[in-house]
Structure 1
Amino acid sequence: MYSKEEASKLRQQFWITFGKYMKPIPSAEGLDINWVNYKTGVKHIFFRMNAEQKQATISIDITHPDKEIRKLYFEQFLAFKTLFKDALAEDWTWEQETVNDFGAPLARISTTLNGVSIFNQNDWQALISFLKPRIIALDQFWTAVKPIFESIS
């Protein structure tokens, strides 16, 4: 087991490594982008990447505090599900109502890689290989659909 400080340093080191690995890759619009802290530009819609002790997850989190607006955003994503699947080339988990680690309600579209640990540097290549193509594909998908979400926000 790692102390909290050691675990924090390993997490930080992984995300710095991932950021350096992704830095030369432009966004779908050809712009520089901070892949680690991806900004969707639409309030309450986040692309999140998370790596922990036993798994890694990448997700779209819809966190609007109003349940009906959150549902509207989720239904809009559902309307683009075919386009989403074409961009990502795999099935993701679609949850209209769930909660985050702090108990706050949200809608989430996600996929998970099990059996990897951010604390094992031997797993870092697998983590990067999991996250990299998915965040790039999410960016390509988002470039196509973002104007619709901007119009309803």
Structure 2
Amino acid sequence: MFSKEEAQRLKKEFWTAFAASNSRKWILYNTKIKDVTFKFYVDNKKAQVLLDIEPKNDKNRIVYYEKVESLKDLLLENHLPDAIFEREFHLSTGKVISRVWVEKTGLSMNNKEHWPEIFEFFSEKMEAFEYFFFEHEEYIKDLEINT
């Protein structure tokens, strides 16, 4: 078990090493759709690449999610065959968002031997997510186009 300071140091070291291993600039929060973001997540059990859809206006959240969901077959067949879709994902804060993600279990940020595998997973899956997003960006962004 790590102290709070050790855990923070390890977390900072992990993200610094990831940035150093991959010079690519990810879109993450720069999707140009308010409150629609790509994220990396890792803990002591799994690594995930996430597309979080969390506009404060629930109607917009559902429309954006349904647009992505309408492209589900394309995402699964051409980019991320293991993607998971959840219309109502409950965060630990109680907030409800929509989420599409991929994950790899059995990996721990606390184990430096896992880092190369996590970095490879992050890079491969985020690249596939971004490619999918760029292919369908105009459709996803436009709230006037029905699903």
Q: CA deviation at 1:38?
A: 4.9
**Identical aligned residues as a percent:** 25
Q: Within the alignment, does 1:68 sit opposite 2:53 as a pair?
A: no
Q: CA deviation at 1:96?
A: 0.3
Using the size of structure 1 for normalisation, the TM-score is 0.86
- Partner SS for 1:102: coil
Over aligned residue pairs, what C-alpha RMSD do you find?
Answer: 1.8
Q: CA deviation at 1:122?
A: 0.6
TM-aligned CA distance change 1:18 to 1:37, over 3 Å: farther
* Kept after mapping to 2: 8 A contact 1:15/1:36: no
Q: Indicate the residue corresponding to 1:77 in structure 2.
A: 68
Q: Indicate the residue corresponding to 2:98 in structure 1.
A: 107
* Kept after mapping to 1: 8 A contact 2:29/2:36: no
- Partner SS for 1:149: helix
Q: For each residue in 1:11-68, what CA deviation from the matched residue of structure 2 results, as whole angstroms up to 9, or x when unmatched? A: 1111111112221x4xxxxxxx2x3855222111111110111111111110012222
Q: Indicate the residue corresponding to 2:13 in structure 1.
A: 13
Q: CA deviation at 1:82?
A: 2.2
Structure 2 residues not aligned, in runs of 5+: none
Q: Report the Cα distance in structure 1 between the residues aligned to 2:118 and 2:14, rounded to whole angstroms.
A: 9
Q: CA deviation at 1:126?
A: 1.4
Using the size of structure 2 for normalisation, the TM-score is 0.89
Q: CA deviation at 1:149?
A: 2.6
TM-aligned CA distance change 1:36 to 1:150, over 3 Å: closer
Q: Indicate the residue corresponding to 2:121 in structure 1.
A: 130
Q: Report the Cα distance in structure 2 between the residues aligned to 1:143 and 1:86, rounded to whole angstroms.
A: 16
Structure 1 residues not aligned, in runs of 5+: 26-32
Q: CA deviation at 1:150?
A: 2.5
Q: Within the alignment, does 1:149 sit opposite 2:140 as a pair?
A: yes
Q: Within the alignment, does 1:120 sit opposite 2:111 as a pair?
A: yes
Q: For each residue in 1:59-117, what CA deviation from the matched residue of structure 2 results, as whole angstroms up to 9, or x when unmatched? A: 11100122221111111001111221234241211100111222111001112211111
Q: Report the Cα distance in structure 1 between the residues aligned to 2:122 and 2:82, rounded to whole angstroms.
A: 15
TM-aligned CA distance change 1:36 to 1:145, over 3 Å: closer
**1:6 is matched by which residue type in structure 2?**
E
**1:45 is matched by which residue type in structure 2?**
V
